[in-house]
Amino acid sequence: MLYLLVVWVPMRDADIRGCLRRRLVAAYGGDRSTLILDELGICSGLARVDMAVVNGELKGFEIKSDRDSLTRLPSQSHLYGKVFDTMTLVTGPRHLKKVRSSVPAWWGIVVANTNQNGSLRLEQVRCDGINDKQDGHSLVQLLWRDEALELLRTSGLARGLRNRARSYLWETLVVNVSLGDLRSMVREQLKTRKNWRVAAAQM
């Protein structure tokens, strides 16, 4: 009698990341106003989302492969909620049950499964919603100093601020510009930034 031994091999972060990138490029590749980013740092470096899409919204994508721990997810969730319009967790099957109840209701959930030929497919388990609790102070921290100063200039708020610290420029934006306008201004600045310090692809 012939027995078939099936060995379960946990998915790696790199496998899911590649599959997710192909999916995002397929969805947004024809839109020149969309930016796809890897490893976007937020909140002055306190967290780094795995992938982000910047267009009419700021969308975050966090990957938790079968080999990853969920230990940092609560703190990541808290920080991502300060910045992103939408969030999607892309996870392996091992974590699916736990993350359904542990991430906020406005997060989308996508599970990565293996096809019979060994390739990955991404399946939507829960659709994302809109985050209504963004924090202006966290949003403006996505801006470099010269970018914050330029936004203050275009808003007529830069008088006497040329030599002030970056934190002061951020605070001036938050105090004087509405959250809705800040969201738009930050997104546009990210899309027009030329010298990204992280891997980026302008679609």
Q: What is the pLDDT of residues 75-89, one digit of tens each?
A: 999 999 999 999 999
Q: State the Cα–Cα distance between residues 59 and 107, nearest whole angstrom.
A: 10
Q: What is the pLDDT of residues 1-58, one digit of tens each?
A: 554 444 445 677 888 999 999 999 999 988 888 999 999 999 999 999 999 999 999 9
Q: State the Cα–Cα distance between residues 84 and 58, nearest whole angstrom.
A: 5
Q: Mean pLDDT in the chain?
A: 89
The domain boundary, picked from 98, 126, 154, lies at: 126
Domain with 104, as residue range(s), is: 13-126
Residue 115 placed within a domain: yes
Contact 91, 100 (CB under 8 A): no
Looking at the predicted structure, is the pLDDT value of residue 143 above 90? yes
Residue 2 placed within a domain: no
Residue 4 placed within a domain: no
Residue type, 43: C
Residues 121 and 26 in one domain: yes
Question: Could you tell me which residues come within 8 angstroms of residue 32 by beta carbon, excluding any fewer than 6 positions away?
Answer: 202, 203
Strand-by-strand arrangement of the 86-91 sheet: 120-126, 108-114, 86-91, 58-64, 47-54, 35-42, 200-202
The domain boundary, picked from 97, 126, 155, lies at: 126
Per-residue model confidence (pLDDT) at position 197: 57
Q: Is 171 helix (H, G, I), strand (E, B) or coil?
A: helix
Q: What is the pLDDT of residues 154-203, one digit of tens each?
A: 999 999 999 999 999 999 999 999 999 999 999 999 998 887 754 344 33
